[in-house]
Amino acid sequence: MSFVVSTEHLSKRYGDTAVVNDLNLRIPEGCVYGFLGPNGSGKSTTMKMLLSLIRPSSGTIEIFGEPMSRHSRRRLLGSIGSLIESPPGYGHLTGAENMRVVQRLLGLSDQQIALAVDTVRLGKQMNKKVRNYSLGMKQRLGIAMALARQPRLLILDEPTNGLDPAGIDEIRQLLRRLADGGVTVMVSSHLLGEIDKTANMLGILSGGQMLFQGSREALFTASLPDLILSTPDPRHTRSLLNSAADAHIDGSAVRVSGLDSTGAAHLIRHLVNAGDEIYEARRDEQSLEDVFMHLTGGGEL
């Protein structure tokens, strides 16, 4: 597998505090990489290092297989679109004028600009001053400014921050479309739910350290959600399970922890054979917090 972004032992220290510690990022080509972590976990710092906006204290970065450094950055940045911190966009100019700034800055064609504006569906708002844009519109303009150069890699820092559910959904669909078009997208968020369904690769950061990196499936295998069984008499159900099963009664249901798919199938067959009635068997909804709990062994975020 070829990686668009890979880092080796990437660290950033300010004085004695390590903001990012020994990070080995692997972002495969064409994926949507969800970069998750609570606020202050080092996501923005990492993204800024990838863009060479700040220099790593130690470790190396390779982008498109080339080392990212102060020398190669000018060339590499031509193929990386990004949105870091708050969205750019000059308030005193209209959307169209802002796009013209980008066009002139990067020497782009009219088609490239039109395509970017179309992609974020901002065509009707282009003659309005950016000062009067809603947050969602500003966010989309920022993405259009990042997309105009037709990047191979798109780095978005919390693009859904402050958006309403419709806005979040729109960004999600946009990311999906871009990935389908072959663009590798790295997107950060402090909320799993916001990028959960779009990202097919996940990296989870906490306190500057990578807790987990891999596919969604791998993540949920690494931290199996509890199996929740609804039965007429949870006490009876519990008594049918052998004492080895990590099961306890939770209201009107029985909650079983640490079961993989095969284990769950066995357990249900066992209960049915024993004559118990099962109304419902489902996996618990897992929040990012729950996943963290599992990954950190109950530690705080």
* Segment interacting with other proteins (CB under 8 A) among 23-31, 73-81, 178-186, 227-235: 73-81
Strand partners for 249: 254
- By C-beta, is 54 or 278 nearer to other proteins? 54
User: Cα–Cα distance between 20 and 206 in angstroms, integer?
Assistant: 9
- By C-beta, is 103 or 198 nearer to other proteins? 103
Q: Does 55 bind other proteins (CB under 8 A)?
A: yes
- By C-beta, is 130 or 291 nearer to other proteins? 130
* Segment interacting with other proteins (CB under 8 A) among 22-30, 99-107, 209-217, 235-243: 99-107
Pairing of strands 3-14, 17-23: antiparallel
Judge contact between 189 and 36, C-beta under 8 A.
yes
Choosing from 3, 6, 79, 106, the residue that interacts with other proteins (CB under 8 A) is: 106
Q: Does 279 bind other proteins (CB under 8 A)?
A: no
Residue 29 burial (CB count, 10 A):
15
Q: Does 102 bind other proteins (CB under 8 A)?
A: yes
Give least dist CB 18 to other proteins, A: 16
User: Cα–Cα distance between 149 and 165 in angstroms, integer?
Assistant: 28
Using CB under 8 A as the binding rule, the residues of this chain from 160 to 219 that contact other proteins are none
Q: Whose structure tokens read 């064609």?
A: 109
- By C-beta, is 75 or 266 nearer to other proteins? 75
Strand partners for 20: 12
Residue 134: which of 147, 122, 117, 116 has the closest Cα? 122
Choosing from 11, 21, 82, 286, the residue that interacts with other proteins (CB under 8 A) is: 82
Give least dist CB 170 to other proteins, A: 21
Using CB under 8 A as the binding rule, the residues of this chain from 110 to 149 that contact other proteins are 130, 145, 149
Please report the DSSP string for 273-300 in residue order.
HTT---SEEEEPP--HHHHHHHHHTS--
Residue 102 burial (CB count, 10 A):
20
Judge contact between 50 and 219, C-beta under 8 A.
no
* Segment interacting with other proteins (CB under 8 A) among 18-26, 85-93, 195-203, 271-279: 85-93
Choosing from 8, 66, 85, 260, the residue that interacts with other proteins (CB under 8 A) is: 85
Pairing of strands 247-250, 227-230: unpaired
User: Cα–Cα distance between 290 and 298 in angstroms, integer?
Assistant: 9
Q: Does 19 bind other proteins (CB under 8 A)?
A: no
Residues in the chain: 301
Positive or negative: CA dihedral 264, 34, 191, 141: negative
Choosing from 28, 38, 78, 214, the residue that interacts with other proteins (CB under 8 A) is: 78
CA atoms within 13 A on the CB side of 119: 28
Choosing from 27, 63, 80, 174, the residue that interacts with other proteins (CB under 8 A) is: 80
- Binding residues for other proteins, how many (CB under 8 A)? 34
- The distance from CA 5 to its chain's CA centroid, rounded to whole angstroms, is 15
Choosing from 24, 39, 60, 90, the residue that interacts with other proteins (CB under 8 A) is: 90
Choosing from 105, 222, 265, 274, the residue that interacts with other proteins (CB under 8 A) is: 105
Using CB under 8 A as the binding rule, the residues of this chain from 224 to 263 that contact other proteins are none
- Residue ranges binding other proteins (CB under 8 A): 48, 51, 53-55, 73-74, 77-78, 80-82, 84-93, 97, 100-107, 130, 145, 149
